[in-house]
Structure 1
Amino acid sequence: MNPEKFLQSLLDSRVQANASTSHRSQHPTRIRVLQALQRGSLCIPDLAEMTDVTRQTTYRAVAPLEEAGLVRERNERYTLTCSGARLLQAYSNIDAKVTIESLARLARSSHQQWLLRALSEEPMRKSNVIERARDERAISRTTVHRIITCLQKDGYVELRAGVYELSETGELLQQAFEQLQTIAAGAIEYKKFIRWLPAELDSFPLEALEESTLIHNTPDQPHNVLNAFVSGAKVDLERLQGMSAIRSPALDQAYRPVIEHTPNVTVIFTDQVLFQFHAADRFVDYAAQEDYSLYLEEGSIRPGVRLLFVPGPIPLHLAIYDDSRVIMAPAPSTGVTEAESTALDSSDSCVIEWVQGLFNQYLEGARPPIRVFQEHVASALRDEQSRERSVQSSVPQTEVT
């Protein structure tokens, strides 16, 4: 599916609800599906009820959304993805002056798209529009006349002193459509990576992925994603920031020289990884080489190198190399399998800035090892006390007379 066909299916207002005239029915069915999934994962019957359509219509509505990666299905329940939330956010921000019907018509007409784009670049006389259309082999003279007349009637194009130009509303229509198209294009092209990102990451810059590379695991090469992270381990780095929910012997071996030689290193792991570290005598010995108490209290392996930990699941494995390159892949919490795992390798400044922001969010709540151990002991103690109270309450009480 290409972005043009997808936007047609998304915005086509001819798909209507049954007999309902509620405010939800003013939006295309597929938009209402995305809106319903903002509340959480839903099955087809629940989606049908929430969107005021039949189950059969719901199946037809969900199909292109899943194909484009805007929703993800698991165990017959559908979940909104990062790209679905991002597109829905852009749709929600469309100016009220732009009607959904006009967007739907624009999505269905490549000729109208060409004309709006041409007039957004420069106001032109009709003869100049026709000449440019002929040079670009875009649309015929008759079609130019017909579309300009329709757009002028709808208030999207204005004629001033013989020159046609977009009205304020026309500019809003063009901008809204281009944004939706750009988001759809990024979602579809990078679907194998994007579809695993949760809706909460709707600020992910889909518009900035043009220079990014996807790295897929395959049946013949099941470790391509892992090897991508290993390839970034270079001892001439000045700064490394990372986040991971797994411990891998291959990564341990690859990044040991980086940790020993890179001046500035901060890596965030989940608490579960900390307990895996401390089950390995080799790691404990390594942590003790500098100052074990400093490692426990601050996460410091050596000056300039910190290992910190977060309690909950994380959505991405990531590594930021010298603030100039980032590699990231969905973490197990997203439901991705090893066979489906895909990494994104990017040097785009917008992507790096976004990843840096995500890293900093988790860094704010990251703790050194001693805090994790203290919280773990306190939690275990509370659980034990709760069990004891439960046992005591279940023992029949003998009445004293």
Structure 2
Amino acid sequence: MSEVIKLYEAFVNPHWSEVLHQLGEQPVFIRAKDEYLYDDSMNPWLDLVGHYGAAIFGHNRQELKDALLAALAADIPCVTPLGLNDLSAQLAIALVERLGLSGHWRLSTLTTGTEAVEGAIKAALVHTGRSRLLVRCGCFHGASSLAMHITDNELWRSGLQALPCPLDIVYFEHIEEAIHELASGEFAALLIEPLQAIGGGRVCSAQEAEDLLGACRASGTISICDEIFSGLGRCGHYSAMQALKWVVRPDILLLSKSLTGAFFPSANMLMRAPIADSIFDRPGCQKILGSTFANNALGLSVAIASLALLDECLDDDTARKKRDDFVIALHDSATRVEDLVSVHALGACITLEFSDAQTCFFVWHSLFANKILTTICSNKPSCLKLLPSLMMQAKSYALFLEVFNAVVAEC
């Protein structure tokens, strides 16, 4: 056992180290570049986890490093506790334009996606004066004390029954059920993901969104769209809503992960102006949403550079064709192993659904043994999630297909 592993187990988390040991290898990663992580023997590992979606451009993208280094060299104030940050409005304008948002919107820049989820719920509670929440089965909105209750999977609350939920949360499976519930006029907010990443890749179609958000408007319910994972390039557009051709927009839109290139945490909450006014325009509440490192100027600098880089990526027909060809090849692999796997893809979010969880685990473990990193969807463990970077090279796609086809042939 290496000294690094010994120290990690002694001072950090021996239980996670033991999981890796049972998988057959405990990689200690010391370098990251593009779609690869390198262990302490400089073995390359193809990374299709991408820091759970945050490394959408791959690791250590030079344009983002340059933006961060320039901000550091300029000695800009990282935080402005009793002042204003001129980068915030620049980012807000850029996001509103790219996301196709009409009307008057306000931006709150926060630290994590979970913080954005809780901030959106607080805003909905204040704006409506209600305390019920409607969420879809299979969702995942974070692992804080409140967010753990906003999923129907009891796994996330195991051993934490002493933390009761302060809200009345209703789960729904089908859109028709949600519309029926909304008619009561009792809900503060509907919280939905256009694409359920941990839920196995299920999407909310344009027609379902129109019906659902229409029911929210009719009942005075705040619609919150969680694009923390799916937004800003992951689904081949600036948002999954656009990729799925939604014609409607929610009242609150949550974004995170990819804007800071996986360098540090950042999240953004876009709210329609009347909702923002409801929560901030109260005595002593002008800074009621936020945290110590929210609205960080370094993060904002990298975010603005990320949007410019994303513009280039989304216009890159060559990169899109590589990804499309990869998905076609996966479908071809699936037809050769009938009933074993089906392929679902929306942009650079690819889900492989297997006949059962055991088969999925076998494939995931076998890929890991071949130094390829992927993710099992915890809310639907028969599904494997692949998150290629928007700039992944053709040889890396080919490497995955070679190993994947060999693994699936063994099933």
Per the shorter chain, which TM-score range?
Answer: under 0.3
Q: Which has the higher contact order (CA 8 A, sep 6+)?
A: 2
TM-score under structure 2 length normalisation = 0.24
TM-score under structure 1 length normalisation = 0.25
Q: Which has the higher Rg, Structure 1 or Structure 2? A: 1
Q: Which one has the bigger helix percentage?
A: 1
